[in-house]
Amino acid sequence: MARDGSGQGEGKTSLGWQQPWDQACIVALDTKTGRERWKARRGLSRISHGVPAIWEHDGKAELISEAGDVVQGFSLETGERLWSSEVVGEGKVPSTVVGEGLVFTAGGYGGRETIKAFKLGGRGDLGTNNLAWEQKKGMPKVPSMLHLKPHLFAVTDAGQATCLKAGTGEIVWQERLGGHFSASPVAAEGHIYFVSDEGETTIIEASSDFKVLARNPLGEKVQATPAIAQGQIIIRTEKHLFCIGRE
């Protein structure tokens, strides 16, 4: 669990949001008791809204967490901060995505908006020494990205979908889906589901070729990311909860 904030209780509304602060923390809780197992600090940074990710390597697991200025790795056992790299952004929304030994981030402002990939496995304050690649086109500001080896998929708030080579950042294709997007794309059985704010789900093949398989309108506003379980897709709209699957 990551805790962020803006310092508004102290009357400093820009603290943490526009100005870096040092009060953000990551807390590990025991699932059986709810007791705190450890608390980690990430140092001076601005806030973010993304959830942490887990990277497993050589039998060990690291917690990967991003803020407005840094992306970092922590020991899953002790909370020790293992490494820290520099990113650009404030109030970042997309969650980090991990795959192929890389962590993918999206963020920035003032003409510095980019998708970045950092090599995992480093130690210490790395700056940008572990930056593998950077792509300035197709960066999402709200929806998280989706990694399906060997590709990375993203959709911008304005509905431009992008497929990149995860290892290099090279764009494979970019296409307009139509509509606006807050929900993150999800995948199942070789298909990717993009749900727009207008409530239309666009289903494409998860491949290097852009191929629309279906478009399903629900007629209600949607901003929540769909959930997939037991062969069904669950979509929360403004007024209803839909469960869609085979009969």
pLDDT for res 173: 98
pLDDT under 50: residue ranges of the chain: 6-10
126-184, pLDDT tens digit by residue? 999 999 999 999 999 999 999 999 999 999 999 999 999 999 999 999 999 999 999 99
pTM tops 0.75, yes or no:
yes
Helix/strand/coil (H/E/C) assignment for every residue in the chain: CEECCCCHHHCCCCECCCECECCCEEEEECCCCCCEEEEEECCCECCECCCCEEEEECCEEEEEEECCCEEEEEECCCCCEEEEEECCCCCECCCCEEECCEEEEEECCCCCCEEEEEECCCCEEEECCCEEEEECCCCCCCCCCEEECCEEEEECCCCEEEEEECCCCCEEEEEECCCCCCCCCEEECCEEEEECCCCEEEEEECCCCCCEEEEEECCCCCCCCCEEECCEEEEECCCCEEEEECC
Map out the domains of the chain with their CATH numbers. Answer: 1-136 (2.40.128.630)
pLDDT for res 21: 79
pLDDT for res 112: 82
